[in-house]
Amino acid sequence: MHALKGARVVIAPGRVLDQATIVMRDGRIAAVGEASQVPIPSDARVWDAAGLTVYAGFIDAYVERAFDEDKEPRRTDGTDMDPGCPDRARSS
């Protein structure tokens, strides 16, 4: 279990919690709210998140463009695949 304490949390466009706590259990968010409203469980590892901004899941951190369609034509040899793809290592 983990707790991020003191973060600025953007929960939706235009909705911001300036001093929030996020509690995570088993890889999932269990609670989010103003620090005064969300108790930190005694078994949680507490992370000081003061000065950090956390965004809701409307940003997909795993999407990455492998090439710029406007500047570079699509290649057919497989070298324009996702850099995280296991097949990428075989084609470069």
* pLDDT (0 to 100) of residue 66: 55
Taking the chain (92 residues) in runs of 10, the rounded mean pLDDT of each run is 93 89 90 92 93 75 59 60 47 42
With helix as H, strand as E and coil as C, how does 37-68 read?
A: CCCCCCCCEEEECCCCEEECCCCCCCCCCCCC
Beta bridge partners, 3, equal: 23, 46
pLDDT tens string 42-67: 999 999 999 999 886 655 666 665 55
Dist. CA 90–CA 76, nearest whole Å = 14
Q: Domains (ranges, CATH) in the chain?
A: 1-86 (2.30.40)
Quick check: 6 and 35 in contact, CB under 8 A?
yes
Neighbours of 19 (CB within 10 A): 14
